[in-house]
Amino acid sequence: MSQISQPVRIILIGAVVFLAAWFTLLRPKSEPAVPPLTTSTTTTAPPVSTPQTGLGRAVEAAKKVAGGSTATTAAPAATAVAGSKATTSAPDVKSQPAPIAAVPAEALAKLPKDVSAALKERKVLVLGVLSEDAKPWRPLADDDRYVRNELKKANRYDGEVVVKQVALDKLSTYGALVNDLGVTQSPTIVVIDRDLKGSVLTGYADTVSINQVIADARRASIQPNHTNAYLRDINSLCTDQNTRQERWSGPTVPGRPARVKSYKRALALTVDYRSGIKRLAAPAKFKSFKTTFLKATDIDIKLLRKFVKAGKSKSIYDDVAIHYTADERKAWRTFDKKANDLGATACAINRAK
C-alpha cells in the first residue's frame, strides 16, 4: 500500500478489518460495529539536536588540522549568492555540499559494517533504538513494537537513507555516534546527517514524525533550501496537509451514521487540499507537475465519494469492494516520481524507498 495516500489507506484497511470482524464476531447483530481505524493521535516531542556527535567533532578536528574548515569553504559561495540577489532572483540550482574530512578508519572499524559503509558514502543514518530482542517469554513493549512498525515505513530516498534497528543493550557498539546524544531509553529514534550531526526522537514516534526529521537532516546536510518560491509553497502546503491527515479520526462509535461522517470528513479534507494545490500559481516548468498532482488528488476524491455512498448502504460488502485500479496506482506512482525529481518531497507518498 505504499502508493496509497492518507486517509484513504486507513479507510481501506478499516474496511477489510471490519469485514473480518463481521464474520468472526459481529454477524448475529443487526447493526455491525466499526472497529477503530488506526490513526496516530500521539503528540511527539520535537527532536533534540546536538551540534555534533562525538565522531562528528573528531572529523571537525581533522578538518582544522588540514586547514580546510567548512565555514571558510562555504563563505565565498554565500557571498556570491547574496550578491546575485541584488540584481536577479537566485536560480533553483542544487549546490554542491562542502567536502568533509574522511571519518577516521579506527572509528569506522568499531562500527557494524553496514553503518560504517553508510558513513563512508555520506548517507543519512537512522537508528531505531528498541528494547532487547523479543523472546517468547518477553515480548517487545507496546511502544517499541509500534515504533518498530512505523520505522519500517520511513522514507529511504532511493537508498540515500540507511535505517537500522538497534537493541538497547547493544547500543555501546555505536558509542562514537550516540554517546553525546543522551540516548538512555527505548524507543528512541536517532538520525545522523551527512555532517555527523544528530537529532533524537524519544518515546513513541509515528512515521510522519520520523520522516520529518529525516527530511530536515537531508535538507541541512545534503540539499540546499529551495530558492524557488513555488517549491517552498507546495512543500509547505503538503506538510500542513500531512499533519491534518494524521489528525483525521475514524468513527468512535459503531454504526453507519458515524462511519459516513468519518468518510465525509476525509472527503472534505481532500477537497480542501485540492483547492490549495490549484490556488498556487505554478511557473511554466512546474505546470506539468501541478496537473499530475491535481489528477492524482482527483483519484482520492473519487474514491472517498464512493466510500461516502457505500457507507449509507446496509451491506458491509460495499465498503470493502472499493479499491484503487491499476491505472490509479500508476497515476500516483507517476506523481511520486515527479515530486521526488523536482524536490517536492513533502508531497510524495512514497519517497523512492
Q: Among 205, 221, 237, which residue terminates a domain?
A: 221
Among the listed residues 105, 153, 160, 125, the one whose alpha carbon sits nearest the alpha carbon of residue 53: 125
**211 within 8 A of 218, measured Cβ to Cβ:** no
Same domain, 54 and 168: yes
Same domain, 167 and 252: no
Instruction: Kindly list the strands in the beta sheet with 48-50, ordered across the sheet, starting from the edge strand earlier in the chain.
Output: 48-50, 198-202, 188-192, 124-130, 161-167
**352 within 8 A of 157, measured Cβ to Cβ:** yes
Distance (Å, whole) CA 229 – CA 27: 55
The domain spanning residue 185 has which CATH number? 3.40.30.10
What pLDDT digit, counting tens, does each position of 192-239 carry? 988 888 899 999 999 889 988 998 888 776 654 556 889 889 988 998
In a domain, 332, yes or no: yes
- Nine cell digits for residue 163: 535505517
Identify each DSSP E strand in the chain by its residue range: 48-50, 124-130, 161-167, 188-192, 198-202
Name residues whose C-beta falls within 8 Å of residue 328's C-beta, 6 or more positions apart in sequence. 299, 303
Same domain, 295 and 193: no
In this prediction, residue 164 carries a pLDDT of 93
What pLDDT digit, counting tens, does each position of 111-131 carry? 899 998 988 888 899 999 998
In a domain, 74, yes or no: no
Same domain, 53 and 153: yes
- Nine cell digits for residue 301: 476524491
Q: Fill in the amino acid letter for 73.
A: T
Same domain, 17 and 56: no
Could you give the maximum distance between any two Cα atoms of the chain, in Å?
78
Same domain, 26 and 63: no
**What band does 55 get if pLDDT is binned at 50, 70 and 90?**
low
Distance (Å, whole) CA 201 – CA 99: 28
In this prediction, residue 277 carries a pLDDT of 95
Same domain, 267 and 201: no
In this prediction, residue 348 carries a pLDDT of 82
In this prediction, residue 102 carries a pLDDT of 54
Q: Would you call 314 exposed, middle or buried from its count of C-beta atoms within 10 A (0-12, 13-18, 19+)?
A: exposed
State the pairing for strand pair 188-192/124-130: antiparallel
Same domain, 35 and 55: no
Q: Among 206, 221, 236, which residue terminates a domain?
A: 221
**193 within 8 A of 217, measured Cβ to Cβ:** yes
Among the listed residues 178, 157, 153, 159, the one whose alpha carbon sits nearest the alpha carbon of residue 167: 178
Same domain, 113 and 192: yes
Lowest mean pLDDT segment, chosen from 87-96, 128-137, 145-154, 310-319: 87-96
pLDDT at 101 over 50: no
Q: In this structure, what DSSP letter does residue 225 have?
A: P
In a domain, 298, yes or no: yes
Q: Helix, strand or coil for residue 278? A: helix
In this prediction, residue 71 carries a pLDDT of 41
Same domain, 184 and 270: no
Among the listed residues 54, 221, 214, 46, the one whose alpha carbon sits nearest the alpha carbon of residue 125: 214
Q: How many domains does the chain have?
A: 2
Same domain, 61 and 121: yes
**190 within 8 A of 178, measured Cβ to Cβ:** yes
Structural domain of 55? 48-67+97-221
Q: Helix, strand or coil for residue 215? A: helix
Q: Among 221, 236, 269, which residue terminates a domain?
A: 221
